[in-house]
Amino acid sequence: MDAREAPVPRPGGLNRGKAALRERLLAARRQLTPAERAGAGRVIRDAILSLPETQMAGTVAAYYSVGAEPETRGLLFALWKRGSYVLLPILLPDGDLDWASYEGPDSLRPGPRGLTEPAEPPRGAGAISSADLVLVPALAVDHSGMRLGRGGGSYDRALARVGTPVPTVALVYDSEFVPHVPSGQHDQRVRMVARPSAGIMRLPRE
């Protein structure tokens, strides 16, 4: 069965399915060495920088990688140095995301839950709607573009504010591009996936 035709589980089963997949993927990430994470980040950085949509983007909404995520620090710096206006998220108490500008490595500060956030003035949750390109973290992406996050729903709320024509790209490791991600009605798809071995892949629209 095509992943886009997979039956939607009931809420309890959906949450259990997501939690099981999330636990397995996080365990696999913990086995990666710092060198492997950095290497994946460099390859993904180069793929994203060569993407035509990146080269044309005036504003890029991105994120600062934490933990075992593919590193984005070099990507953020490269986008900023080439003249893109880079927005980074600020986690709000209700789990939604505000946004503020990235002005180089010295413009960052520690945030809640081990995150690193921009210290510039916040521009509001709707600022993401002005982005020409959106880069998002993910634990997995399936062949239809459905994304698995950390479970807080922050990026699903943010992606719901992004216009249909705007490219949204999830950054994952190779093994995290999977046939099917459990999903519900509020989960948001991404339109591309970036992987170390394959670069950028465009995914089918709904």
- CA distance linking residue 116 with residue 63, whole number of Å: 9
Model confidence pLDDT, tens digit, residues 155-186: 999 999 999 899 999 999 999 999 999 988 78
CB 157 within 8 A of CB 124: no
Task: Check: pTM over 0.85? Answer yes or no.
Answer: yes
CB 184 within 8 A of CB 190: no
Phi, psi values for residue 30, rounded to 5°: -65, -20
SS3 59: strand
Quote the pLDDT of residue 12.
Answer: 59
Domains defined for the chain, CATH in brackets: 9-202 (3.40.50.10420)
Per-residue pLDDT tens, the chain, 206 aa: give them. Answer: 223 233 334 445 777 889 999 999 999 999 999 999 999 999 999 999 999 999 999 999 999 999 999 999 999 999 999 999 999 999 999 999 999 999 999 999 999 989 999 999 999 999 999 999 999 999 999 999 999 998 889 999 999 999 989 999 999 999 999 999 998 878 899 999 999 999 999 998 76
Quote the pLDDT of residue 33.
Answer: 93
Residues near 27 by beta carbon (within 8 Å), at least 6 away in sequence: none
Model confidence pLDDT, tens digit, residues 56-71: 999 999 999 999 999 9
Choose among 143, 147, 153, 152: nearest CA to 170.
147
